[in-house]
Amino acid sequence: MTSYVAQRLFGLVPVLFGISVVIFLGMKLIPGDVARALLGPMGTAESLAQLRGALGLDQPIHVQYVKWLWRALHGDLGLSPIVHQPVVELLLPKFGNTLILAGASFVLAATAGIVLGVLAAARERTAIDRVSMGASLVVGNMPPFWLGLVLIVVFAIDLRWLPSLGMYSTRGAGGLADLLAHLVLPAVTTAAAPGAIIARMTRASVLEILGHEYIMVARAKGLAERVVISAHALRVAWPPIVTIAGLQLGYLLGGAVFTEEVFGWPGLGRQLVSSVIARDVQVVQGAALFIALSFVVVNLVVDLLNLYLDPRARPA
Amino acid sequence: MATVLAIEGTRPRPRRGAGRFTAFLRAFMRDRQALAGLMIVAVAGGAAVAAPLISPWDPLKSVEVDRLSLPGTPGHLLGTDEQGRDILSRLIWGGRISLLVGIVPTVAAGLVALLLGLVAGYREGLLDHLIMRVLDVFFAFPLVLLAIAIVGVIGPGVGNQMFALAVVLVPYSTRVVRTATLSVKPLEFVEAVRALGAGSGRVLWRHLVPNVLPPLLVYTSTLVGLMIVASSGLSFLGLGVQPPTPDWGVMVGSGRLVIYRAAHVATIPGVIIVIVALGFNFIGDGLREALDPRARQ
């Protein structure tokens, strides 16, 4: 087990190296460079050359890469030429806000998806099954930015139940209750499509398990259907469900960009979009690095969780 | 006996390929959900193609007095937007670019993936390792965020949007082609063709391509729906199609600015995106079931 974990961690090294190369080269593809962006249109040729020398931009590209990587490993992703702030300092709080949104959405998507999926499988070919699967099909195809707008129209404009913008009220006292009220609509929006996919996949996994002989034996013993599903079917169905749910976490990060934009949630995705529009490449690069690293960590956690849940997957 | 043989010899024998295609077509046409999908896509595509003929208004023409008319207003079936432009006309014309931006990257990525996946799966060894490890790096980024980051590097616009979406799809489609190639390559008929002296090019083109195309086609068709949603998302964020060009994502994006006064401006184009994405998914599901003999049985 320990050796597998070590092997899995070792396997991350080439992926992380590849990510760093892609992100570094991506920045180099852009016409102009950081020195020009920092100095703006007023920079003279002399000051440009001086700043390039100071930033090491006149050195060979592999040297630049090694220096950039060294600095990145020490938590220095450079300075944003647009907002004149260190990239890490700018992104860390936004990353925290995105984690709050992504965490809440994931809990919502996984809970609703798994409950609906199990219910649909247990009541296969009944109205519950048809309605829940039909709804998941439609919801799974809803653009998150559109769903967010619809929820704003219904719950913020028409019913006036929930706030539609930001993380905290500008005039309120703030606090957890205020945050939770602001979190409901963005979390539902972000969770909708991943939840729908989890529901469909859970239904398929549970149905497959329910076809096994040992389930027939459990039923023949006279066990209640509830026990058959919770104690026998779900135990085996967990690993694929965890894998699917874990994969959704990545898509959830993608969907969160739209949610953050629609609800004015001050997260990493919103920052990424505004930096893309402002062509603030330093920040785009930093945000891409944050996102890729969290995606890699999520995949690792899902793998290890599966190992824990499914003894058959453990190496001998 | 000789006569019987002669008669049997002249009787036209159904070609294996044609028989399989008929069975596939029959299975597909029996699938009501797939037919519904086909109908949705045909209506959306047909309307987009016939836009100059059927569009009631010029999609760019603003009528100041008709701003934010509700659906059902005489002359404007689905109402008008914040600039007094007819929403129905913009939806019809918007289908042209929205469908194109959803379909072109998927097909382009499919073609690149076909090449990469075939080469990786057929040659295996170092080249396979190299291609797949490079693509593995792209799996470390969520699809939409990677597309946004690419647009961030190359700049917003329709062409760049399509390029970015195609790039992010290549790893996924390549994996499908490579897996299919690896499963067909060890089969006896490939070995027999090789033993008869066929070169790599012939084996790949004549024997592997026809066998890896069906899974790629199924996968690609399910991706189109996803890409229509993703590309409309990029346009919504202002990174793809630019206003005033009519596009479903752009329409939701600009309608958002008047959501408190007239919700229909943003919500109606979204409904169309959902319906068309569902249509493509229905077709994809139908194709998968019709092409998979186990599902057919």
pLDDT of residue B8: 42
Mean pLDDT over B87-102 rounds to 95
In this structure, are residues B87 and B73 in contact, taking their beta carbons and an 8 Å threshold?
A: no
- The residue type found at B11 is R
- The answer, for A296 touching chain B at a CB cutoff of 8 Å, is yes
Q: B104-113 pLDDT, tens per residue?
A: 999 999 999 9
Write the residue in A137, A157, A288 that is nearest to B149 by C-beta.
A288
Write down the pLDDT at residue B6. Answer: 41
Look at residue B89 in the predicted model and tell me its pLDDT. Answer: 95
Structure confidence at residue A33 (pLDDT): 67
Chain centroid to CA A233: 29
pLDDT tens column, B145-169? 889 888 877 888 899 999 999 999 9
Q: What amino acid occupies position A29?
A: L
Residues of A within 8 A of B235 (CB-CB) are none
Whether A289 has its CB under 8 Å from any CB of chain B: the answer is no
Of B143, B152, B267, the CB nearest to A153: B267
Confidence of residue B45 (pLDDT cuts 50, 70, 90): very high
Cβ distance A113 to A193 under 8 Å? no
Q: Would you call A229 an interface residue with chain B, using a CB distance cutoff of 8 Å?
A: no
Sequence-separated (6 or more) residues with CB below 8 Å from residue B214:
B291
**Complete DSSP assignment for B6-32:** HHHHHSPPPPHHHHHHHHHHHHHHH-H
pLDDT for B214-242, tens place per residue? 889 888 888 999 999 999 999 999 889 99
What pLDDT is recorded for position A315? Answer: 64
Residue B171 · residue B110 · CB < 8 Å: no
Q: What pLDDT shows up at residue B10?
A: 43
Tokens found for residue A209: 């398990």
Highest mean pLDDT among A162-176, B134-148, B247-261: B247-261
Q: So what's the pLDDT on residue A301?
A: 86
Q: What is the DSSP letter of B246?
A: -
For A123-163, where are the alpha helices, taking DSSP H only? Answer: 127-140, 144-151
Residues of chain A with pLDDT under 50: none
- Give the pLDDT score at A30: 67
Q: Which of B24-33, B122-131, B142-151, B170-179 has the highest mean pLDDT?
A: B170-179
Confidence at B17, pLDDT banded by 50, 70, 90: low
pLDDT score at A241: 86
* Cα A117 from chain centre: 22
Residue with tokens 């004149």: A84
Contact B273/A at CB under 8 A: yes
Quote ipTM for the complex. Answer: 0.85
pLDDT band at B12 (very low <50, low <70, confident <90, very high): very low
Taking CB atoms and an 8 Å limit, are A143 and B270 in contact across chains? yes
Q: Is the dihedral of CA B91, B94, B100, B102 positive or negative?
A: negative
| pLDDT class of B37 with cuts at 50, 70, 90 | very high
Average pLDDT for chain B? 87
Burial of A224 (0-12, 13-18, 19+ CB in 10 A): exposed
Supply the pLDDT for residue B294: 56
